Structure 1
Amino acid sequence: MLLSAAVAGSLSLLALTSRESVKADPDNAGLKLPAGFGALVVAETGARPRHLTVTPQGLIYIKLNRPNKEGKGILLLRPDGTGKAAATTGFGSYGGTGMYAKDGYLYASSDEDVYRYKLNEKGEVVNPAQPEKIITGLINRRQHESKSVVLDNAGNIYVNVGAYANTCQVKDRQKGSPGQPNCPILDSAGGIWQFKASKLNQTYGDGTRYATGLRNVVGLDWNQPANQLFVMQHGRDQLSDNWPQFFTTKQSAELPAECLYALKPGDNAGWPYLYYDPSKSKKMLNPEYGGDGKKEADAKYLEPAAAYPAHTAPNGLLFYTGTMFPEKYRNGAFIAFHGSWNRAPEPQKGYYVVFQPFKNGRPAGPYEVFADNFAGTPEKAAAGRPDHKPCGLAQGPDGSIYVTDDAKGRLYRIMYAKK
């Protein structure tokens, strides 16, 4: 009797699960976790992994920022019965960030294009040498150039196109330079674009500018209960450097918040005209457009759904739908913060994964640091010299969470063991 692909895949998963005897590393891979959780190092990739995805069969696909020494930009890892894995093969000659699997396809992005690969019933790419190019010609000006991707449940794919500027100044990142009126960057960057997931060779003209006014989004995910796109924005830099008459260095270290947005078609989050001040819980007018640290921005712009410490660089967003973790984590958001570089002379900050509780599709209550000590020591974190930087997040078929490190190439797996 022939088995359907879905049944065969389920049986493969059951076989994989029954074979596994996964235990945390004795030191939890160096991480600090809540009670009952453990972690292990799955692999040392020797490259710079960005986003990743795990198939229902347990195969791990990782997108590399740059092709490795073999010239491959995507790694395939097959964990053994202990949870450890080595890169069994690689494919794709391009670097980039985006990696996502859904409905029998693997989606991957370079900094200009998006590809898809057909998966078989084992979760393997059918023809790795011949992907379908579904989106081409996206803006890449060597600043905020990474393209993150996610799919909804209606055959659409969403792509971040980051703004190639700090605040759309006449002279980018220069002291006292004013902002350009009606920022021209927003025509082709600084937002989220929606395309069809199955149509080949789409360009801007084939897609829709789904949301605008977003400086740069690296972490994004589709919230299933809310049936809505959520994104994490990287906030602006250099308030004190460029506008010392309005902002102290300490204020510049604490402003603006990194913000979570719940997006609907046509939303405008307000970049480059505003920043979000978490101490005031207000949208403030950027100094490039007449602000002075006291003037509020136009109320027409989208309110953030939640706010987090400045300059901590949220690079991964994952809504947890598994059953391994305790109930409090169900449908909440995990966010990987890559860490700051520009809080000096204040201590640098970040290099952790936080958990944001959700209720009825919206943030509910304060966030908590979930996985810490990627940096190695508090001193390394404060100095901005971390051992590891969390970047991508993915959920495994058993409900464990995988975290990439794009500083030294490590792949972590976090599990809940206490029953």
Structure 2
Amino acid sequence: MKTVEHLLLLITVIAFTACSSQTSSNIDFADDNGGINLPDGFKATVVTDSIGQARHITVDENGNIYVALREPHNGNGIVALADENNDGIADITKYFGDYSGTGIHIYDGYLYFGSKTEIVRYKLQENELVPSNNAEIVVDGFPEQRQHAAKSIAFDQNGNLYVNIGGPSNACQEEMRTPGSPGMAPCPQLESHGGIWQFDANTTGQSLQEDGTRYATGIRNAVALDWNKQTDHLYVVQHGRDQLHTLWPDYYTVEQNAILPAEEFFEVQEGDNFGWPYTYYDHQRGEKMLAPEYGGDGETVAEKGKYEDPILAFPGHWAPNDLLFYKKSQFPQKYLNGAFIAFHGSWNRAPEPQQGYKIVFAPFENDKPTGNYWDFADGFAGKDSLESPANAQYRPMGLAIHNDGSLLITDSRNGKIWRIFYTGD
């Protein structure tokens, strides 16, 4: 029996080695991995280094890369990149689209894009890098908002589109971000914000008000979301609330303010309520806590069973901005079916150093996270101690898997893109 097991293991190792060699043989790797740190056996090439404030990213069946921009570049909000000689570096860069935003995804022959107030799509044509047709509006009517306006998107296997609509506030206070101001009860923002909405992915001309189904609620802002085909469920990583000490200094210390509340990783089922703004998650205690705006004091636990708990939790204010389940074989077996999470980095941990600014990997077993995670790529900040995100060299933002299984990472500062391979070296 052991001989058979050893043979299977040898075959797996050979397969992974062959795959790695085949996909990376022509790649022009950067000497320093483009300025970031990677685990042993991984190397990176820089696809491009300055396309603009890059957000999410996707890849078509020909290996062309499409990137959403936070701000328009000469009036355009999408970048198309092509690598003609297969060395991993973009040879062609073209801008198009009248919208800027965050969410971008290829589904059923269309490039879907999420601006702050609309979801649109472009028909992709064979041998055409930039779509020649005009954008079709898939969903409009999303509310204008100054906070958490990014519309990230995901698709399931049954023709449904999922859209994040972030809460337009920190904690639904009567006086926004004002010390001691109570929360509105019930929070009226939850009627059209603070959750995930579901739409028909194949129908144009929809509106939030007439066609949207509130799939899950109580989510402050889930820029990071992905549909996991392995489990056939939606997953999101939430931005936790801010300013516990600033707004409620009698209950929270400066040190607690820096690490609380947790950034929560949720498995989302239709009808779930995750508790924002009434609760937050304390990862040190492992409990949902009653928010101070709703009678909490840092010690009062939220009502048991009323809200869904996270499947995994991370330290506060790391700012999760993308989530991706790994389904390819280019990376070693331990990465299969696990989750990569891009942390954009904190702004509100002062006077403690800012943290985040890295890509984390969370392994899954039997369709559940194992409970641990590790840093996969870091060094984006460019320095060991960071006082402000304005001083970060790079801020990791978007994730995508290339057709060969390599991992793409975008930077939101200037628009650098890394492509990471496992070489075993």
> TM-score band (shorter)?
over 0.9
Pick one of 81, 89, 95 that aligns with 1:90: 95
How far apart, in 2, do the equivalents of 1:406 and 1:269 lie? Answer: 28
Maintained 8 Å contact 1:96/1:109: yes
2:156 is aligned to 152
TM-score (norm 1): 0.93
2:60 is equivalent to residue 60 of structure 1: no
Supply the distance in 2 between the matched residues of 1:248 and 1:23 (Cα, whole angstroms): 49
Residue from 258, 270, 289 that aligns with 2:275: 270
Decide whether the 8 Å contact of 1:387 with 1:408 is kept in 2.
no
Counterpart code for 2:168 = Y
Q: 2:136 pairs with 111, 132, 135, which one?
A: 132
Equivalent-residue separation in structure 2 for 1:303 and 1:98 (angstroms): 26
Equivalent residues of 1:45, 1:87 under 8 A apart: no
For residues 145 and 92 of structure 2, the distance between their equivalents in structure 1, rounded to whole angstroms, comes to: 31
Closer, same or farther: CA 18–340 of 1 in aligned 2, 3 Å: closer
Query: Contact conserved, 2:257 with 2:349, CA < 8 A, in 1?
Result: yes
Amino acid at match of 1:273: Y
Cα gap change, 1:412 to 1:354, in 2 (>3 Å): same
1:201 alignment counterpart: 205
The question of 1:364 aligning with 2:362 is answered no
Shift of 1:108: 0.4
Q: Does 1:168 align with 2:196?
A: no
Separation (CA, whole Å) in 1 of partners of 2:397 and 2:173 = 29
2:288 to 283, 286, 309: 283
| Distance (whole Å) between structure 2 residues aligned to residue 123 and residue 402 of structure 1 | 22
Amino acid at match of 2:109: G
1:221 aligns with 2:226: yes
Aligned mate of 2:417, from 396, 411, 418: 411
Aligned partner letter, 1:147: K
C-alpha separation between the residues in 2 aligned to 1:188 and 1:294?
Answer: 31
Alpha-carbon deviation of 1:118?
Answer: 1.4
Match of 1:315 among 301, 321, 339: 321
The alpha carbon displacement at 1:418 in A equals 1.1
Q: CA deviation at 1:375?
A: 0.8
Could you list the runs of 5+ residues in structure 1 that have no partner in the other structure?
A: 1-16
Which residue is equivalent to 2:12?
none
| Aligned counterpart, 1:347 | 353
Q: Which moved more, 1:75-84 or 1:233-242?
A: 75-84
Deviation at 1:230, TM superposition (A): 0.2
**Unmatched 5+ residue regions in structure 2?**
1-21
The answer (yes or no) to whether the contact 2:53–2:413 under 8 Å persists in 1 is yes
Q: Verify the 8 A CA contact 2:28 2:89 in the aligned structure 1.
A: no
Match of 1:191 among 176, 181, 195: 195
Aligned length: 400
Pairwise CA distance, 1:121: 3.6
Aligned-pair distance for 1:122? 4.3
Amino acid at match of 2:79: L
Instruction: State the secondary structure of the residue aligned to 1:73.
Output: strand
1:123 Cα deviation after fit? 6.9
| C-alpha distance in 1 between matches for 2:64 and 2:215 | 31
Structure 1 counterpart of 2:113, from 108, 127, 135: 108
Q: State the TM-score, normalized to the length of structure 2.
A: 0.91
C-alpha distance in structure 1 between counterparts of 2:135 and 2:388, whole Å: 42
Aligned-residue Cα RMSD (Å) equals 1.5
What amino acid is aligned across from residue 216 of structure 1 in structure 2?
A: N
After superposition, give the CA deviation of every residue in 1:17-76 in whole Å (9 maximum; x if it has no partner): 8897113211111111110001121102341010010112100000000111x2110010
What is the match of residue 331 of structure 2? 325
* Deviation, structure 1 residue 283: 0.1
